[in-house]
Amino acid sequence: MFQKLTIEDCLEVERRNLVKESLSEIGRVDGVLKSFITVLNEEQIEVNEGPFKAIPIAIKDNIVTKNIRTTCASKILENYVPPYDATVVRKLKKAGFAIVGKTNLDEFAMGSSTERSAFFVTRNPWDLSRVPGGSSGGSAAAVASGEVVAALGSDTGGSVRQPAAFCGIVGFKPTYGLVSRYGLVAFASSLDQIGPMTKSVRDAAILMQIIHGKDEFDSTTVDVKMDFLSHIEQGIEGFRFAVPVEVYEYEGLDKEVAERFEECIKLVEKLGGKVEKVKIPTLKYAVATYYVIAPAEASSNLARYDGVKYGLRIEKAGLKETYSVTRTTGFGEEVRRRIMLGTFTLSATYYEAYFNKAQKVRRLLANDLNAVFDRFDAILTPTSPIPAFKIGSITDPLAYYLMDVFTTFANLAGVPALSVPFGFAQGLPVGIQVVGKRFEDPKVLRIGRSIEKFSPYNENGRIPLPVVRT
């Protein structure tokens, strides 16, 4: 059955026309799910020779693709067709992967539900009345529903991991600098990372093997070559795990999510891991710090969309009015809100009080995490404090921002973090987050693989996937 195929399965099956099967499945369910902004037809899809030839994959629509529309789910880029491929896209094509379409997201990746796309809301394949998470909700829904074998997302404050948790798949945010950001439309440049979204931890490792590495077009990338697969099955006996006490202090933690988290801790101990509760004093400031730094960087990055260089242009009598009307019309409410917040915190009057102070807290948080990683192999938390919520049920921006309470700290510190499905709460998937030391990405995947392999909620190490009713 195509919907359940992993990348590894595709290497074993007879090379039937997987692209055609993927497009057929998209045609069957995407009218309901709305995972994709752009779907290519079979003649448009580029298929190259390579070890992964013709395995269908989706790309989040803020990662540029040559001659394929890249919108960032925004009216300001609705008709933008890039003249080049992002580095990750070029690497996937070289390996043979077939890109079948571009997935929906919260506009410019600013959101946690994919409700803030300028075009339409994506739905969770487990329950069509609920969100798939965000901002990589289209990619998560496309993988969970079996429209594609795997997808790429981007993660600025949890945007790969949180939708992976909501949709019951694997989502991995690599160490900052391990994967090139060249061709990723910038939101917050010091936080953004591209990561895989897959049906298994091993598939995430396969994609990481392909997309990581130094890139001359991205000066923040590091010159390291990692082996993500050699030790992935070796287990976690003797590993030490830290569980922040702040997890238990968070009042918004769902009771059933907390129960699944406790079950996962018991499984880790059963597999030979040592678990200890620790205090990470600066963790409680992570969300506030993130929502100062990220909008500030977004304010700077999104200044380029002015109606002059490319994208939407609404002609008015004067240049200033053209700027103003173009940006007001082209950007949605949440993007405008974050631009204004960021511009405010970068202003001369408030720079020291907000942005500079947030950068100092960020450094203190990184120091606290480094102290934890001197003693422990990884940190465990729930990925999200709640399971997927109903579409339209959260309207308060502050409540919405707290969706990121367990994920933003990994971006602020630039460390690798993985979400692995582990059971259900209210009949909806729950994700467990594994956070590791910088450049110990293979170890994080190894831990995730052990949880996946022995989870009582999986069958033969396989993550259960939903049946989408159309």
Q: Which residues are catalytic?
A: 60, 135, 159
How far is the first Cα of the chain from the last one, in angstroms, to the nearest whole number? 17
Where b means 16+ CB within 10 Å and e means fewer, 405-430 reads bbbbbbbbbbbbbbbbbbbbbeebbb
Cα dist. 17→22, 35, 49, 54, 255 in Å?
9, 22, 14, 8, 45
| Segment holding 57, helix H or strand E | strand 56-60
CA–CA separation, 169 and 182 (whole Å): 26
Sort residue 66 into left (φ over 0), alpha (ψ -120 to 50) or beta: beta
Could you count the other beta carbons within 10 Å of the beta carbon of residue 55? 26
Contacts of 12 (CB under 8 A, 6+ apart): none
Those residues whose C-beta lies under 8 Å from the C-beta of residue 185, and which sit 6 or more positions away, are 62, 63, 64, 70, 72, 77, 108, 109
Measured CA angle at 287 (ends 107, 261), to 5 deg:
100
Structure letter (DSSP) for residue 233: T
Give the count of beta carbons closer than 10 Å to the beta carbon of residue 383: 29
Length of the chain measured in residues: 470
Residue whose C-alpha is closest to residue 158's, from 113, 208, 202, 125: 113
What DSSP element (H or E) covers 98? Answer: strand 98-103
Q: Residue 404 — φ and ψ, nearest 5°?
A: -95, 15
Bridge-partner residues for 59, per DSSP? Answer: 102, 152
Find tokens 């880790």 and name the residue.
268
- Answer yes or no: are the C-beta atoms of 40 and 68 closer than 8 Å: yes
Query: Residue 190 is encoded by which pair of tokens?
Result: 């010091």
